[in-house]
Chain A
């Protein structure tokens, strides 16, 4: 099993200093991520304006692309801005796996119940 408490080189976060050159590279990446996040936001708003909700099939596709684009944005923020991508694999999993399991369950159960509530309007009318 991989040891997660070994302190190798500069892996300990408090000691993680980097040089001027490494900084340049990091900053370049930061601006790249900024451009991606902005482009996605602009694309989302443009899609919201262009496509009309009455076209049911198109709107379902649009809705799902909103959600996928948002997950992309979230991924960039967590992995790049919050540096989770640079942390130990074990830490990454300890944070992400429980959250994803809980939230997937919550979404599933809430939406299932919500749809069932909607169907009950006809029954109790």
Chain B
């Protein structure tokens, strides 16, 4: 070792061989190796998704048509919520860099402040993901299946009309006011009645929260190309052709309203769930290190490298989300 080092490094931080490969500490290098292997896991999940999607016979659900709700608001905001989640995670990555930078200046207060904001960002992201999951699981109105072939005319998003040859077994989607009551009805709730009179359908739910909804339109191709709304007499044609027991509301591990491919929701649950689990463990690790910073452990040690190491993990979580955002939601 003599003659190689131009700076005295304490023995206990050098590696077993008395040298420091790549001139990084053992811990930091192992964090990098762990991240490489974890990145391969996520890479494997996303390529598996690509494999299934490329091999799928039926059209794959379109991200901006599946994820277009905002909490507490009616209307369609394609991908706005996911973009917001991406932004939140990027910002929490930024506060983490600022925390690491403060550590390099031995600025304990700065580290506490920025690491604190990083934890807050992590919690906001986790909360957003919980809402996203809840919305995905509950769905937005659900669908019924047709029991016979029907030809209807619907209106596309750009206002043009188009004729659709719907086949028996195809799904027709209800709006969420009507669909929510319909879900209770399908589950066999005795308080719900559905009446078809003249040209209109009314679903009524009595009981603790009595409410009713009139069927105003049905949607065909809701999550794939050529989404169209069907109203009036054409809508009644679809309604009357429904099969009495084939409904699907939201998503779970055995069925989902978004696509005929069950893998679509399975991949959603697994990929975003595995990522969310990483965010959760990241928040827990950040909190532990935050308390150690407050106790002054790293100030005594003379460096804040531990903050740098958990920072690497936190940025990695952000990095993975950037790819999930692109390949699950955008492409």
What is A's interface to B at a CB cutoff of 8 Å?
3-9, 11-20, 23, 26-27, 30-31, 33-34, 37-38, 41-42, 44-45, 48-49, 53-54, 63, 66-67, 70, 73-74, 77-78, 80-83, 87-88, 90-91, 94-95, 98-99, 102-103, 106-107, 110-111, 113-118, 121
Contacts and interface: CB of A to CB of B under 8 A. Distances in A.
Contacts, number: 192
Contacts of A67: 326, 331
Contacts of A98: 36
A11 B23 contact: yes
B56 interface: yes
Contact of A44 (B7, B24, B96, B330): B330
Given A6-B4, A118-B57, A15 B303 contact: yes
A49 B39 CA distance: 29
A16 B100 CA distance: 11
Given A14-B305, A34-B90, A114-B53, A5 B79 contact: no
The majority secondary structure among interface residues of chain A is helix
A117 B94 CA distance: 42
A37 B89 CA distance: 11
A82 B62 contact: no
A107 B285 CA distance: 32
Nearest to A99: B36
Contacts of A45: 78-80, 83, 330
Contacts of B33: 95
B43 A48 contact: no
**Size band of the B side of the interface?**
35 or more
A16 B9 contact: no
A97 B311 CA distance: 22
Contacts of A107: 43, 47, 50
Contact of A18 (B64, B83, B105): B105
Given A67-B331, A77-B315, A111-B51, A14 B25 contact: yes
Contacts of A70: 322-323, 325-326
Given A13-B305, A90-B22, A95-B36, A41 B86 contact: yes
Given A6-B23, A82-B316, 8 more contacts: A12-B20, A42-B83, A48-B63, A70-B326, A77-B319, A81-B315, A111-B50, A114-B54
Nearest to A78: B319
B318 interface: yes
A99 B63 CA distance: 28
Interface in B40-80: 40, 43-44, 47-48, 50-57, 62-64, 78-80
Contact of A16 (B51, B90, B104): B104
B6 interface: yes
B331 A63 contact: yes
B237 interface: no
20 contacts: A4-B22, A5-B20, A5-B22, A12-B7, A17-B104, A17-B106, A30-B94, A33-B94, A37-B90, A41-B86, A44-B83, A49-B64, A81-B94, A95-B33, A99-B40, A102-B40, A107-B47, A110-B48, A114-B54, A115-B54
Interface of B: 4-7, 9, 13, 19-25, 28-29, 32-33, 36, 39-40, 43-44, 47-48, 50-57, 62-64, 78-80, 83, 86-87, 90-91, 93-94, 96-98, 100-102, 104-106, 225-226, 303, 305, 308, 311-312, 315-316, 318-319, 322-323, 325-326, 330-331
B22 A87 contact: yes
A27 B55 contact: no
A41 B20 CA distance: 39
A5 B23 contact: yes
Contact of B322 (A15, A16, A77, A88): A77
